[in-house]
Structure 1
Amino acid sequence: MRPPIKVVGIDLAGSSRSWSGWAFISDDKLVVKVLRSDGEILQETFRVSPLLVAIDAPLTTPSKGIARPVDLDMRRKGYPVLPPLFPGMKDLTNRAIRLKNEVVQKGIEVVEVHPLSSRRALALPLKEWEKLREALKLMGFKGDIDRELNQHELDAVVCAYTGSLYLINEVEIVGDREAFIVLPKPGKPLTMSEVIFRWRSQQTGLRRL
C-alpha cells in the first residue's frame, strides 16, 4: 500500500499567549486545530508523523540588517513579507527557529511558507475567509473543512497545502540554501485528487529506480 502524503501546516503566533493554527493533511483528509504552547504544537505534530512541516514564519535570521535576501526577492516578485528582525517579528522568528530545530531533530523536514503569498500565486481569496474555506472545499479537502474555521486555521490549511505541493515538485523556491520560501507555481490550484495522484505516481517511480 502506498504511503499517504502527510503534511503539517502551522500558522504560528509570536507568543503562546495567542492561538496558532495547526492543520494536518493525510491525503485529502484534513484535521485542523488551534493550539497555544510549543509543547502542544510539538506533541500534535509528532503524534501524526508527517513527512513535512510547513511553517508560516521566518526560519532563519539575516547575517546583517533586518531582512534576508529571500525577503527582498519575495518583495521584488510582488509577494511582500515582513523580515525576521522587523519590530514585532523577532519573537515570532525566535519561536519558529526553536520549533524548527525540535522537529528537524526528529528527522522531519521543515520549510518556510507564506500563506498570503500562496493564495496570491493561486488566485485564491486573500482575506475573505468563508470564500477561502469554500474554495478549499472545492479543491477536494474532506474533514474539518466542513466546519467553520477561523483565519489562523485557514492559514494553516494553506501552509499544509503548499507543503504538499512541495513534495510533488509543484512549487517555486524563492531564495537560496541558506534561506528560502516555498511558493506554489502560479496558476489554477491542483485539486487534492491531482496532488494525491502525482504523489503516488512519484512513489511508484522511486521504487522502480
Structure 2
Amino acid sequence: MPYGTLPVVVGIDLAGSPRRPTGLCLLDGTRAVTSVAFGDEEILALVKLARPAIVPIDAPLSLPSGRRSIHARTGEHLRECDRELLRRKIRFFPITLGPMRMLTARGLALKRRLVKMDYRPVECYPGAAQDVWGLPRQHRDLFGLLAGLRRLGLRGLKKTATSDELDAATAALVGRWFLDGRGTMLGGEEGILVPVIAGCGRVV
C-alpha cells in the first residue's frame, strides 16, 4: 500500500490491440490519476509501481463453460455473467463476436501475467456500473460522465480525459466500492464486478 491509507486500485480499460490506447486509472484514496498506454509492458509497469489491492479490467477475463479457446467457432457463446446482464437488460457484446475475440484473448493473457505477479485482476464492465450509478455512458455524454464521476467523489480527473481514461476511472471506482463491501460479482468469482447501491440491493 505505497500511496495513501486506503488500498490502491488500478482500473484498466483494455484495448483489443496494443496499437490502440488503453485507458489506465490509478486510484489512491479519492484521487484518480488517469493516463493511456499501448503495450502490455506499459500496463504492467504501472501496476507494479502502484501495487494495487485489486485490478478491475474492462475486458472479458473468462470463457464460457466448456469452451477451451476463444477462437473456436463452435461451443457456448454466453457465460453466466453474460446471462445475468441479459436478465437485467444491460447491453453488451458477446465475447465470441468478431473483434471481441481479440480483446478476450488479450484480456486472458494479461490476467495470467497479473496473477503470476500476485495481483488480483477482476473483470469489470464500466457501462453496467454507469447504469447503476445513473451516469451517461461515454459514447453518449463524455462530459456528463466526467461530472458524474466527480459527484461520486473522484478527485483529480482532467477535463481533457479521454473516453478510455474515464472508463478506466469507472472501473477503478467499482474496485474501490467492492473493497468497501459495496460490490458483487455477477455470475460468481469468474464473473463481472459491479457496484451495489446500499439500502436498495440495486445491482443494475
Would you say same fold, with TM above 0.5?
yes
Q: Deviations over 1:147-175 (max 9, x none)?
A: 31111110000000001111111013210
Q: 1:20 aligned to 2:22?
A: yes
The Cα shift of 1:134 comes to: 1.4
Q: Deviations over 1:106-152 (max 9, x none)?
A: 21111111001100011112221111111222222222x14311111
Number of aligned residue pairs: give it.
186
- Backbone CA RMSD of aligned residues: 1.8
Q: Give ranges in structure 1 of 5+ residues lacking alignment.
A: 189-209
Q: How far apart are the structure 1 equivalents of 2:187 and 2:152? A: 28
Q: 1:86 aligned to 2:97?
A: yes
Among candidates 137, 146, 153, match of residue 140 of structure 1:
153
Q: Secondary structure at the match of 1:86?
A: coil
Q: Deviations over 1:18-54 (max 9, x none)?
A: 0010001010111100110011111111111111100
Q: 1:128 aligned to 2:141?
A: yes
| 8 Å Cα contact 1:119-1:125 kept in structure 2 | yes
Q: Which amino acid aligns with 2:83?
A: L
Q: How far apart are the structure 2 equivalents of 1:67 and 1:87? A: 14
Q: How far apart are the structure 2 equivalents of 1:10 and 1:40? A: 12
Paired residue for 1:37?
39
Paired residue for 1:191?
none
| 8 Å Cα contact 1:171-1:182 kept in structure 2 | yes
Q: Which amino acid aligns with 2:111?
A: K
Q: How far apart are the structure 1 equivalents of 2:177 and 2:103? A: 25
Give the 5 Å matches for 1:50-129. 50-62=52-64, 63=66, 64-126=75-137, 127-129=140-142
Q: Secondary structure at the match of 1:111?
A: strand
The Cα shift of 1:69 comes to: 2.0
Q: Secondary structure at the match of 2:61?
A: coil
Q: How far apart are the structure 1 equivalents of 2:83 and 2:183? A: 19
Give the % identical residues: 30
Q: How far apart are the structure 1 equivalents of 2:177 and 2:155? A: 17
Q: How far apart are the structure 1 equivalents of 2:90 and 2:186? A: 11
Paired residue for 1:175?
187
Q: Secondary structure at the match of 1:142?
A: coil
| 8 Å Cα contact 2:182-2:198 kept in structure 1 | no
The Cα shift of 1:9 comes to: 0.5
Instruction: Out of 93-102 and 59-68, give the one that drifted further.
Output: 59-68
Structure 1 outlier segments of 4+, above 6 Å: none
Q: Which amino acid aligns with 1:136?
A: L
| 8 Å Cα contact 1:133-1:154 kept in structure 2 | yes
| 8 Å Cα contact 1:19-1:34 kept in structure 2 | yes
Q: How far apart are the structure 2 equivalents of 1:24 and 1:14? A: 21
